[in-house]
Every structure is written in structure tokens, then in C-alpha cells.
Amino acid sequence: MVAEIRRMDEKGSGQAVIWRDTEHGNQKKLRLTIPQTLLGEKVRVTVDKPERRRRKALVEEILEANPERTAPPCPHFEKCGGCVWQHWDYQGQLKHKTAHVREAIEAQGFNPELVLDTIGMEDPWHYRNKMEFTFSPDGSLGLHEQGNFRKIISLETCLIAGKEMVEAALEVAKWVKDHELTGYNKNLHEGLLRHLMVRQSFATGEIMLALFATEGPEGHLQNAADDLVNRITEKFPQVKSLMWLENTDWADRTQSEKSHTLAGRDFIYDEMDGYRFRLWFDTFFQTNPTQAQKLVDLAVEMGKPVKTEKMIDLFCGVGTFSLPFANRVGKLAGIEIVETSIESAKRNAKDNGIDNTYFLAKDARKGIDEVLETFGTPELLLLDPPRSGAGGKVMRRIGRSQPERIVYVSCNPDTFATDIKELEPFGYTLEKVQPVDLFPHTFHVECVALLVKKSQ
């Protein structure tokens, strides 16, 4: 079958519609999802089970290529699910991300011309400061196959992770093979090693290695654990935290029931915008520090904080935005439902000598009510919700609280657009939207937007 790619889906694959003849002599529409294709391309595909209306198809031959198609540099690209757009010229990726944000807000009735061109990276490689690798049952270390979370692609390199992170991960992979350790089998729920988390501060150079296993490092594993410590400390002096974390839960997540610090501390130091942060294995922190700094700069530029003003930072996490703003406003209240993040935010504020902050571990909507009672209506409100967005109830609560200016930091243009639509009845206008590319070679795009009360 020949298909023409008409759009890209939310996972970065091309989509096409073709018509097929049925045994009754009529035609039926077949919707195809075709990975590793680009807009406008004509491709020959094979479709298994064509009687179904929606199918995934694999490319046999590219008949007409998009002029922005390029050769992917990573040897794992065709199979690995880590990044899906290495075959797309970087400038083409940026143009598509801008178009995506414009389409999302236009669908909600906003002017798409308010969206500026996406800010990209000078060097869109080796930008990630955190990676989570997975062990296959035979002990091989790698990343999930595209669209298949049961199969692991063995790691030889990773072009989006920091180079030292990859070198450290490969050393752990060699250690596993040398000691003939098993990986976790998700089907049988047996085996030892589940994941390896690697995170590095590009500012301080410090690295954390966190090994997730179904049992602790004592007993029959003590010799192997000691050897791991010797290898890592000898070859990677920048590793300041080597952790062994026990996880016996059936859920396939990097979580811990019991932690063992094999070497160094149980956290590493990172910096952003001149502020120091402590990062534990489960701390959420922006994974592209170069572009995250641009998010902070844009938020400050749009928010125009003033020393006499009050501010709320909603979904504040560990204080990534709170600390830079706290030094520019009179009082700042941070709200976050994850208690460990709030404890980290308090500690980070103390570490940086900031004493005008109030951090509250509470659901966003209830947290706003409590903060408003504590210090009144803020002039400035910033929110940085998860991909699912803040939701209508939270957005309407923000609207009723009537801050003069709202800065919305989003990692999902579609939920962002539906969220800000909720603010219109409360007298807010959208001033501008600046997309920022934090994840080159993937379909994700972040944006920073400013909304202002009409009376302002």
C-alpha cells in the first residue's frame, strides 16, 4: 500500500488515511500510524490485519521524502524508544513544535500570532542530565524498544544523555556481566536488577548512580557490591552518590522501599540561576539544564516581579522557580502536593539564605485557599503543572483569586490551551506565548506564557 503522511500524532509518528477495497466491492477508510515518517512523505507500507480501521504500519520504502529528512546519527535509532525524531532536521523539528503550540491555542479561540518561534538549542545533543536505563532478564542494560515495554535494546551509546553519564552506565553494565547477575523478568516477576538511574549536574559535575534491585546488597551479593564500589570510585571520582535501592513492587517504576548508600552521599548538588539545589534519586528537576535556565529567564522577564509584591508559585516542586523569584518579590508562597518536594524546597531556600518563602504541602486548589487566608491576594502567580495540566477547578480558583499577572509554564500545549481558556471569564487576556525546546529529537515542547488582567 502507498500512504501519504498528513499529520504527526502526539507520540511523534506520522499518520495517514488510505482507502481499501473490501470483499463486498466497496471501500473502507483505514487510518495508519507510521513511525519514522515525516509530513508530506509518500511511503510504501505493509499493513497487518487490514480489516481493522486503525493500524500501525511499518515503512517498506520511502517514495517521496520530506526535504527536511536527515540521516539519524544514533545506531539504536530505528529500534530505541528514547527519541523518535533523529531523522528530522533540527530546524524542521522546531518549526513543527511552533506550529503545534499555535494550533493548540487557536483551537481554543486564541490568536496564534501570539506564539513566538520556538527557542532551540545551539547543540541539540547530550543535553539530558538524567536517564533511567532498564535491565533485560539476561542482565543487559539499555532502553525500551519503541512501542514495546517488554523488550530492552542493549545500550552501546546514547546521544541525548551526558557523555560521562553514558560512560558510567556502561561500566555498571560491564560489572553486571562480569558477576553474571540477572535482570528482572517482568512476566515472571523474578530476577535481581531492575533499573539504573544516572543523573549528573552539568554545573557541579557531580554524578549519582542509583541501582534498583529486588533485594539488598548484603549476603551473597556483598562481594559484587564491594567490587562495584571499587570500580566506580576508581574510574569515576565525579560520582558523589552511589545508591543501591530495593524495589520488590510489581509496578515498573523507579521507586524504593529501602535504600543503601554504597559510597558518598544520598544526594548530589546541582545549580540553576546561581542557586544551589540538593537532588535525591526521586527529586524532580528539569532534565535539560541549558533550556531550563531559559525557562526561568523567560518567566522572570514576563512576570516582572517587584520587591513590594506577593507571589504564589503553584506546583512549585523543589523550588526551581521559587528561589529566583523569591529574591525579587516581598513574599513568596510555594504550593506542591508532594511532601518530599516541599521539604526539599524548604531546605533549598535555607541553603541559599532565602527567608521570605512559605512552602505548603497541599493539593493546588486547597493550597491556594490557605495561602490567600495567610497573606492575601498575590500580585503575581506562577504555575508549572504536570502534563495533565492544572484542570478547570484549579484554573477557576486562580481566576477568582484575581492576581494581576499570571505566568504559566507548560510541558503540554494542549492542556495549557484548555487551562487558560478557563481564565477568560475572569478578565484575563493572553499576552504572549514563548515555546522552548527542552527535548530535541522528541515531540515534546515546553512554553512560557503571560496572562494579564484586562484592567492592567
CATH code at 258? Answer: 2.40.50.1070
Tell me which of 21, 50, 67 is where a domain ends. Answer: 67
For residue 188, the model assigns a pLDDT of: 87
Domain extent for 51: 2-67
For residue 53, the model assigns a pLDDT of: 65
For residue 151, the model assigns a pLDDT of: 85
Query: Which band of pLDDT confidence, cut at 50, 70 and 90, is reported for residue 170?
Result: very high
Tell me which of 208, 240, 272 is where a domain ends. Answer: 272
Q: Are 452 and 428 in contact (CB under 8 A)?
A: yes
Cα dist from 395 to 100, 392, 407, 423, whole Å: 22, 5, 12, 7
For residue 18, the model assigns a pLDDT of: 87
- Considering the domain architecture, whether residues 159 and 221 belong to the same structural domain is answered as yes
- Considering the domain architecture, whether residues 312 and 413 belong to the same structural domain is answered as yes
Cell of 198: 544516572
- Considering the domain architecture, whether residues 305 and 434 belong to the same structural domain is answered as yes
For residue 375, the model assigns a pLDDT of: 84
In a domain, 81, yes or no: no
In a domain, 56, yes or no: yes
- Considering the domain architecture, whether residues 261 and 291 belong to the same structural domain is answered as no
How far is residue 98's CA from residue 110's CA, in Å, rounded to a whole number?
A: 15
Sequence-ordered list of residues with C-beta below 8 angstroms from that of 7, at least 6 positions apart, any chain? 14, 15, 39
- Considering the domain architecture, whether residues 219 and 103 belong to the same structural domain is answered as no
Q: Which of 80, 158, 411, 447 is catalytic?
A: 411
- Annotation marks residue 316 as catalytic: no
- Considering the domain architecture, whether residues 118 and 145 belong to the same structural domain is answered as no
Q: Are 248 and 168 in contact (CB under 8 A)?
A: no
How far is residue 119's CA from residue 206's CA, in Å, rounded to a whole number?
A: 28
Tally of structural domains, the chain: 3
Give 330-360 pLDDT, tens digit per residue. Answer: 999 999 999 999 999 999 999 999 999 999 9
In a domain, 278, yes or no: no
In a domain, 82, yes or no: no
- Considering the domain architecture, whether residues 256 and 318 belong to the same structural domain is answered as no
- Considering the domain architecture, whether residues 431 and 296 belong to the same structural domain is answered as yes
CA torsion through residues 277, 280, 285, 288, sign = positive
- Considering the domain architecture, whether residues 191 and 51 belong to the same structural domain is answered as no
CATH code where residue 373 lies = 3.40.50.150
Give 281-305 pLDDT, tens digit per residue. Answer: 999 899 999 999 999 999 999 999 9
For residue 52, the model assigns a pLDDT of: 64
Phi and psi (nearest 5°) for 131?
-140, 145
CATH code where residue 15 lies = 2.40.50.140
Of 80-94, 133-147, 199-213, the range with the highest mean pLDDT is 199-213
Consecutive H or E run containing 172: helix 163-178
In a domain, 188, yes or no: yes
In a domain, 86, yes or no: no
In a domain, 164, yes or no: yes
For residue 252, the model assigns a pLDDT of: 74
Among 17-26, 92-101, 251-260, 429-438, which stretch is predicted with the lowest mean pLDDT?
Answer: 17-26
For residue 400, the model assigns a pLDDT of: 95
How far is residue 276's CA from residue 278's CA, in Å, rounded to a whole number?
A: 7
Which residue type is seen at 249?
Answer: D
Tell me which of 67, 84, 103 is where a domain ends. Answer: 67
For residue 50, the model assigns a pLDDT of: 57
How far is residue 109's CA from residue 192's CA, in Å, rounded to a whole number?
A: 53
- Considering the domain architecture, whether residues 14 and 147 belong to the same structural domain is answered as no
In a domain, 90, yes or no: no
Phi and psi (nearest 5°) for 422?
-65, -20
- Considering the domain architecture, whether residues 439 and 300 belong to the same structural domain is answered as yes
Using a 10 angstrom Cβ sphere, with 0-12 exposed, 13-18 middle and 19 or more buried, the burial of residue 204 is middle
SS3 348: helix
- Considering the domain architecture, whether residues 304 and 200 belong to the same structural domain is answered as no
Give 24-71 pLDDT, tens digit per residue. Answer: 667 788 899 999 999 999 999 987 665 566 688 888 999 999 999 999
Q: What is the mean pLDDT of residues 361-388?
A: 94
